[in-house]
Amino acid sequence: MILQPRDVGWIEVICGPMFSGKTEELIRRLTRANYARQTVQIFKPGIDDRYEAEAVVSHSQRSLPGVAVEDLQALKAALDPNVEVIGIDEVQFFDQEVVSFCEELADSGRRVIVAGLDQDYRGRPFGPMPRFLSVSEYITKLMAICVRCGNPAHRSYRLAEDPQQVLVGTDEQYEARCRRCFAEGYPASSIPESELNQNSSAEQ
Ligand code: ADP
Ligand code: ZN
């Protein structure tokens, strides 16, 4: 970020595929806010129980204490009304209302940092992420390294055979892939148009 606003709130989005460093970047920003003596709260969806319930942990095992919440209502209940900086990891798992709630927080002067997958395992826009990308002030799109060829990777490829969009990942179930290596697994023509638009039509 180049310019840091003063006396107003805003929303920052950190997006990209799995293993791209979204959680690390979220932890970095929140740690710096701590150094600046700002009050910070970190949330993550309860669904993401890969590592610990009371911490946000990256694939490289960096961690920061956080609160796992079942849904947006639980997040609201756990939120300190005086907190200055709010971080939400794996925000793609929340319902669409999370976007307007974060807007309210930003409108009331808070700095909101959300991190999440912008695409699901088929390359489709994930849940509330398209809206976040529209309404936020700052966007950081990270890439991982394609495990097949070493190129920058912007997609998460699911190795497991399971049609559910929400399948909480372990390192063995997903791998970061570039466009070409992703297409070798999922030729674009194999995804029906109806499925491609599934998320956006569900949001109307
Ligand atoms: P995200 O939140 O985007 O899933 P994390 O912040 O949890 O990412 O983890 C990022 C870390 O994952 C990297 O710093 C690196 O140590 C590790 N990593 C494992 N596989 C890869 C990969 N294919 N590309 C890049 N980083 C990887
Ligand atoms: Zn590749």
Q: Is the CB of 18 under 6 A from ligand 1?
A: yes
pLDDT for res 55: 87
pLDDT for res 123: 94
> If you measure from the C-alpha of residue 202 to the centroid of ligand 1, how many angstroms do you get, rounded to a whole number?
30
Domain-wise residue ranges, the chain? 10-144
Is 52 assigned a catalytic role? Answer: no
pLDDT for res 203: 40
Atom of ligand 1 nearest to the CA of 16: 3
Q: Is the CB of 181 under 6 A from ligand 1?
A: no
pLDDT digits (tens, 9 = 90+) for 8-45: 999 999 999 999 999 999 999 999 999 999 999 999 99
Q: Is the CB of 119 under 6 A from ligand 1?
A: no
Q: Which tokens sit at 2?
A: 């180049």
> If you measure from the C-alpha of residue 144 to the centroid of ligand 1, how many angstroms do you get, rounded to a whole number?
7
Measured from the alpha carbon of residue 178, the closest ligand is 2
pLDDT beneath 70, residues of the chain = 1-2, 47-52, 161-171, 187-204
Half-sphere exposure of 11 (CA within 13 A, CB side): 24
Name the H helices within 7-90.
22-35, 72-78
Sign of CA dihedral 143, 145, 147, 150: positive
Fold of 10-144: Rossmann fold (3.40.50)
Other residues' Cβ atoms within 10 Å of the Cβ of residue 86? 25
Cα 133 to the center of its chain, rounded Å = 11
Sheet with strand 111-117: strands edge to edge: 67-69, 40-45, 85-88, 111-117, 10-16, 138-141
- Under 8 Å between Cβ of 105 and 81: no
